[in-house]
Amino acid sequence: MCRFYSGQFYKHPLLLKYEWYWRLEPEIKYFCDIT
């Protein structure tokens, strides 16, 4: 899975229309608003 996210994730056809993305990890506490 790490190899997918480190190199090929951004080439996925469903993501090509996006200029950037932010991958959020499960089970992690975020101390700011994510909206």
pLDDT of residue 12: 84
> How many independent structural domains does the chain possess?
1
Name residues whose C-beta falls within 8 Å of residue 11's C-beta, 6 or more positions apart in sequence. Answer: none
* Boundaries of domain holding 25: 1-35
Residue 9 CB neighbours (<10 A)? 13
Give pLDDT < 50 ranges for the chain.
none
How is residue 9 written in tokens?
């994730």
Rounded distance between C-alpha atoms, residue 9 and residue 16, angstroms: 10
How is residue 27 written in tokens?
């089970």
